[in-house]
């Protein structure tokens, strides 16, 4: 039987996480509601250590490994937040961590991963190339290879975020989830089915990187161009496990432009004193994009990460200067 993730797995993950991460806040901002025309609740995953929700998955994975597996060490491949999440979790549990990043990876991200104590290997023209190198490292050094998308423990761990959302607000009309590989949206669907069956779970991806969206619409994993500036949403293909879970779990899936995401980043900065990276603002962008769908509704938007790039931060400063 192929691996899957259940509501019970997600509850267990929350118990494992309790000793490591406090719940994150979820706030509303009346000035933001005024602009958007809906009652918006911002779930603040940008305040996690490493600045993104993925750390929930990394810690759950490490907590579930036996001592022998931790002693073997781990290896993964990533360009961004997944790498930091796994490096952070390995440090918490005293496990050795190697991250393969594409050769042209953002030097600031490589530095952040090294600062967490992981070994960074720069190799491959893209993520597929880094994946191939990670397989070699796993084989040669006996490390556990951790795929960023098709690993059930990662999905169970990020699901703890939706226990927090739906236990606080079982009355939500909708929750909007930014999607890259789809682990977060897959988990949202599982938890909503149990705790808030009346809530619509809506995915959102950038139109410049629509692989997860198109895979969901077509019912099969497809590859697509991958050009968004929002790194958390940047995937060039669909992933089987999250796609299978999203098939039953999502009510709808939208695409937004990178320009709309930038507008949402500015609104979060100006009206919610929140520094979001592009992916972290995508859920709000989807609400802005469809005023008719969300008008007057109570909607949770997942601010999935705060690791804004230097360009994203500079763009906020320009807006402030113009007024």
Ligand X SMILES: *Cc1c(COP(=O)(O)O)cnc(C)c1O
Q: How far is the CB of 50 from ligand X (least distance, A)?
A: 9
* In the complex, minimum distance from the CB of residue 296 to ligand X, in angstroms, rounded to a whole number: 27
Q: Which residue is nearest to ligand X (CB)?
A: 305
Which range of residues in 20-28, 139-147, 178-186, 245-253 is near ligand X by CB under 6 A? 178-186
Among 73, 102, 157, 178, binds ligand X (CB under 6 A): 178
User: Which one, 72 or 128, has the nearer CB to ligand X?
Assistant: 128
Kindly tell me which of 205 and 263 has the beta carbon lying closer to ligand X.
205
Which of 137/303 has CB closer to ligand X?
303
- Contact call for residues 212 and 203 (beta carbons, < 8 A): yes
Q: 213 exposed, middle or buried (CB, 10 Å; 0-12, 13-18, 19+)?
A: buried
Answer for which of 181, 206, 209, 243 binds ligand X (CB under 6 A) is: 181
Which residues, other chains included, contact 203 with Cβ-Cβ below 8 Å and sequence gap of 6+?
176, 177, 178, 179, 182, 185, 212, 213, 216, 246, 250, 252, 253, 254
21 within 8 A of 55, measured Cβ to Cβ? yes
From the list 63-71, 86-94, 114-122, 180-188, the region that binds ligand X by CB under 6 A is 180-188
Q: Which is nearer to ligand X, 162 or 294 (CB)?
A: 162
Beta carbons of 230 and 217 less than 8 angstroms apart: no
Q: Is 24 helix (H, G, I), strand (E, B) or coil?
A: coil
Residue 306 Cβ vs ligand X, minimum distance, rounded to whole Å: 8
Q: Which is nearer to ligand X, 69 or 164 (CB)?
A: 164
- Residue 63 or 179: the one with the smaller Cβ distance to ligand X is 179
Interface residue with ligand X, options 184, 189, 238, 249 (CB under 6 A): 184
What are the angstrom distances between the C-alpha of 223 and each of 93, 127, 216, 233?
A: 36, 13, 12, 14
Site string for ligand X, 274-313 (x = CB under 6 A): ---x-xx-----------------------xx--------
- In the list 54, 56, 224, 254, the residue contacting ligand X (rule: CB under 6 A) is 54
State which residue, 124 or 182, has the beta carbon closest to ligand X.
182
The DSSP annotation for 56-105 comes to: HHHHHHHHHS-HHHHHH-EEEE-SSHHHHHHHHHHHHHT--EEEEE-TT-
Tell me the β-bridge partners of 201: 175
Using rule CB under 6 A, residue 159 touches ligand X: no
Dihedral of alpha carbons 249, 254, 257, 261, sign: negative
Per CB under 6 A, residues contacting ligand X are 52, 54, 81, 178-185, 232, 277, 279-280, 304-305
């Amino acid at each position: 039987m192929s691996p899957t993730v259940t509501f019970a797995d997600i509850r267990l993950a929350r118990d494992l996480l309790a000793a490591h991460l406090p719940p994150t806040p979820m706030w509303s901002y009346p000035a933001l509601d005024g602009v958007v025309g809906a009652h918006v609740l911002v779930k603040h995953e940008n305040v996690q250590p490493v600045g993104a929700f993925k750390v929930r998955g990394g810690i759950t994975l490490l907590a579930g490994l036996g001592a022998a597996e931790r002693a073997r060490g781990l290896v993964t491949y990533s360009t961004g937040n997944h790498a930091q999440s796994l490096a952070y979790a390995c440090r918490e549990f005293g496990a050795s961590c190697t991250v393969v990043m594409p050769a042209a990876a953002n030097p600031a991200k490589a530095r952040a991963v090294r600062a967490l104590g992981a070994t960074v290997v720069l190799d491959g023209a893209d993520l597929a190339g880094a994946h191939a190198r990670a397989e070699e490292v796993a084989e040669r050094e006996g490390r556990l290879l951790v795929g960023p998308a098709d690993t059930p423990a990662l999905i169970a761990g990020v699901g703890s975020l939706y226990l927090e959302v739906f236990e606080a607000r079982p009355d939500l009309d909708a929750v909007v989830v930014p999607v890259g590989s789809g682990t977060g949206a897959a988990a949202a669907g599982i938890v909503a089915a149990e705790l808030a069956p009346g809530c619509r779970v809506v995915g959102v991806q950038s139109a410049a990187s629509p692989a997860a969206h198109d895979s969901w619409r077509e019912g099969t994993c497809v590859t697509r161009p991958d050009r968004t500036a929002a790194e958390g949403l940047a995937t060039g293909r669909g992933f089987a496990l999250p796609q299978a879970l999203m098939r039953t779990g999502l009510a709808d899936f939208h695409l937004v432009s990178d320009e709309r995401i930038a507008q949402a980043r500015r609104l979060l900065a100006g009206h919610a004193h929140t520094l979001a990276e592009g992916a972290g603002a995508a859920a709000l962008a989807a609400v802005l994009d469809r005023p008719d769908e969300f008008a007057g509704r109570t909607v949770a938007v997942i601010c999935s990460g705060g690791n804004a790039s230097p360009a994203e931060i500079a763009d906020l400063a320009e807006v402030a200067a113009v007024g």
